[in-house]
Structure 1
Amino acid sequence: MKRGLYILLVTLILVSCSDFQKTLKSEDTSAKFDMAEELYNDGKWAKSFRLLDQILQKYRGKPQAEKLTFMHAMCLYNMKEYYRSSYHLDKFTDIYPQSEKAEQASFLSAKGYYYNSPIYSKEQKETIEAIEKLQLFVNANPNSQYLSEANTLVKELDFKLEKKAFEIAKQYDLIKDYKASIKSFNNFLLEFPGTTLRSEAFYYRLDAAYNLAILSVEYLKEERLNEAIDYYNALKKAYPNSENIENATALYNQLQEELNTLKTKS
């Protein structure tokens, strides 16, 4: 019984593939339209796309063109071909701005850019593009059903840029380029004032300033010790219960000792 069902299933698949190939090679545009729509509704995006790609131009200016253009773009989106799908979804909204699918197409185009955003450690050109695209969508569609999701995606992408900037500043500290680290953390705090990494940035800025001060030549030491102490005071004031406050206080005590020693010498 099971063997019979297996043979039947294989036969149906072979017949289906045969029908697809015949339709793909035929000159019957209407048959291609019908099969493309059937395959699309069945979630067989790649096969549907191949047929749609063949007939799309032939329906330009006809009533079916809007539907076909949208399906064509959506096949690419569902195939995770996000660069291409965003291009075609944008094209759809340009051609059919009054379509009931225009808002969905605009959002999914922007979301395609979101999917192309790389991990934070890589170049973030696509992330910036995605934020811009999503923000344009939000501004143009303030009452959209996709508004909440779009804002969530923007926040996620924003955090990726924050994380990138934060890790660059932290890396300067690790490679002992303390001046660059302090400058980078200061820029980071200015650029992302509401960041969730603010407490950590305060601490690592202090750490970099501490190392810069301790390793400084005599004539720069007092100024840099005082600067590092200022960074400690800023951390303690803003985040008195920070998980780094104990380590920060240890650095502060050493800075004070160093400063007292320096004043004794003079």
Structure 2
Amino acid sequence: MKKLVYLLAILLGLNSCSEYQKALKSEDIKTKFELGTKLYDAGKYNKANRLFAQIVPNYVGKPQAEKLMYMYGMTFYYTKQYLAAGYQLARFEKSYPNSVKAEETGYFSAKSYYDVSPIYSKEQQETVEALEKLQLFVNKYPDSEYLPKANKLIKELDYKLERKAFEIAKQYNQIAYFESSDYEAAIKAFDNFLADHPGTSFREAAMYYRLDSAYKLGINSIKGKKQARLNTAINYYNSFKKFYPNSEFNEDIDKMNEEMTTALQQYNTKS
């Protein structure tokens, strides 16, 4: 009995493949549309996509065009061809703004750009574009059922950009340490980061590394610049302690402050 069922499954599979191959070669657009729809409903998106691609131009202006273009765009998404999906689904939403599928395609078009956003350490052009697309969706459909998902994606992308910016600023601090370079670039980088991302989750770490950079700059400065730079670093220390009195960095920064205070007292005594 099991062998019979297995044999029937093989025969049905072969028949399905044969039907699909015939449809691909056929010039009957109705056959392609019907089989493509059947394959789409069965989750066979690659095959459906190939059939739809052959007939899209033939359905321009026809009543079935809306359904066809919706399925065609979604087959790109389901087969992870995200750039094509983003384009085709945005095209659908623009062409059929009153469609019941407009909101859905608007969301998945925007999400397609999210899906190609790279890890934070790489160039973030796609991330910026994804943020723009998702924000446009949120603004256009404020009551959408997809709103919680869209906001979650926006939050993830924002975090990625923040981490990218934080790591770049942190590199200035590390490069200055290993190459004995000017710490002023690191301080400026962290100042810019904190100004651009006031609510960032990296705020504590950014303030710590800014203080660390200012401390090293002040301690190692020439006499003419030492006092002003140490005072600036001590101001950073006081600001840090104000906002993060129980920070994990406290032991480290307390040592910095002690050394800076001593150096400043010695400087004032000699002066």
Aligned to 2:228: 223
In the TM superposition, 1:104-143 aligns within 5 A as 104-143=104-143
In the TM superposition, 1:118-197 aligns within 5 A as 118-176=118-176, 177-197=182-202
Q: For 1:112 and 1:186, how far apart are their aligned partners in 2?
A: 34
Aligned to 1:17: 17
Q: For 2:130 and 2:262, how far apart are their aligned partners in 1?
A: 50
In the TM superposition, 1:39-78 aligns within 5 A as 39-78=39-78
Q: For 1:137 and 1:127, how far apart are their aligned partners in 2?
A: 15
Q: For 1:155 and 1:189, how far apart are their aligned partners in 2?
A: 18
Secondary structure of 2:90 counterpart: helix
Distance change (3 Å), C-alpha of 1:178 and 1:3: farther
Deviation, structure 1 residue 140: 1.1
Secondary structure of 2:70 counterpart: helix
The answer to whether residue 261 in structure 2 is matched with residue 259 in structure 1 is: no
Secondary structure of 2:118 counterpart: coil
Q: For 2:237 and 2:137, how far apart are their aligned partners in 1?
A: 42
Deviation, structure 1 residue 7: 3.8
Aligned to 2:241: 236
Deviation, structure 1 residue 4: 4.6
Structure 1: segments with no counterpart, 5+ residues: none
Structure 2: segments with no counterpart, 5+ residues: 177-181
Q: How many residues are treated as equivalent by the alignment?
A: 266
Q: For 1:139 and 1:192, how far apart are their aligned partners in 2?
A: 22
Q: For 1:154 and 1:62, how far apart are their aligned partners in 2?
A: 37
Deviation, structure 1 residue 257: 1.5
- TM-score between the two structures when normalised by the length of structure 1: 0.96
Q: For 1:117 and 1:125, how far apart are their aligned partners in 2?
A: 8
Q: For 1:102 and 1:246, how far apart are their aligned partners in 2?
A: 56
- TM-score between the two structures when normalised by the length of structure 2: 0.95
Q: For 2:243 and 2:184, how far apart are their aligned partners in 1?
A: 23
Aligned to 1:248: 253
